[in-house]
Amino acid sequence: MSLAAAARTPVASMRRHVLVVGLPGIALAGLVGLLLGSPQAALSAAAGAFLVFVVMLAGLLGITSVVQGPVGLSLAGAAIVYIGQLVLVLAAIAVLENAAWLAGTAVALGGVTEGLLVVGAQVLGFVRARHGFDDAVMEAR
């Protein structure tokens, strides 16, 4: 894939939207945790949101390399990125499972909320990106 074709992928737009929505989402999760619970719940919700944000952003970085590779490997590459994200989340859960300073419910709510925000931002970034599925169509513009 040429540099011009790589520049036409929607990943850059998706990444921008994730940063704009995801970073404030971490702070929002902490604020909601504080309003509904305690400082421990606020820290826990923000930690869950941060974990999901980092994993989703890592997935976007992985997808960047997938879309720049051969088209025939795109689906397999996307599956590897998805499985990698699951492994990262499960590893983090295993490490943090017995952390006394985390409130489990707040971590889960913060993580799920951040996940929904980030996925929504990815979809919005994808839809707003001007991209084509066929290079001939893009070159005709």
pLDDT of residue 101: 86
pLDDT of residue 1: 46
Residue 100 to residue 90: CA distance in whole angstroms: 18
pLDDT of residue 134: 60
- Number of domains observed in the structure of the chain: 1
Nearest to 63 by CA among 75, 49, 72, 51: 75
Residue 133 to residue 89: CA distance in whole angstroms: 32
Full domain range(s) for residue 57: 3-140
pLDDT of residue 4: 52
Q: What is the pTM of this model?
A: 0.81
Residue 84 to residue 78: CA distance in whole angstroms: 10
Q: Which residues of the chain have pLDDT under 70?
A: 1-8, 131-141
Residue 53 to residue 76: CA distance in whole angstroms: 23
